[in-house]
Amino acid sequence: MNFIVVGVIAPVAYFLLRLATKKIVMMILKQFNKPKDNALISCENCGTYFEKQYGKRINGKFICDKADCVKNAKS
């Protein structure tokens, strides 16, 4: 009985535990290594560069958050 536990069950359990640990660590590392989508684009009214998340798309143009640009884009 001791041979079955030490010779068969323990190595299989060790392998499965190691496999699960490796998958968890790889998943955590992938979260930290995700590329950040902070592409810089230029405003089509004033030409300043800003991150895409801070702009607006008005009439098919990327516009920055400045009041003058937003007002000119709507007219």
CATH for 36-75, options being 3.30.60, 3.40.50, 1.10.10, 3.30.190: 3.30.60
Nearest to 47 by CA among 15, 72, 75: 72
Locus of tokens 């937003």: 70
Amino acid residing at 68? D
Tally Cβ neighbours within 10 Å of residue 63: 21
Locus of tokens 């499965």: 16
Measured in degrees and rounded to the nearest 5, phi and psi for residue 9 equal: -70, -45
pLDDT tens-digit map of 18-67: 999 999 999 999 888 876 666 788 888 888 888 877 788 888 888 888 87
**Annotated domain spans of the chain:** 1-34, 36-75
| pLDDT at position 16 | 97
pTM (whole model) above 0.85: no
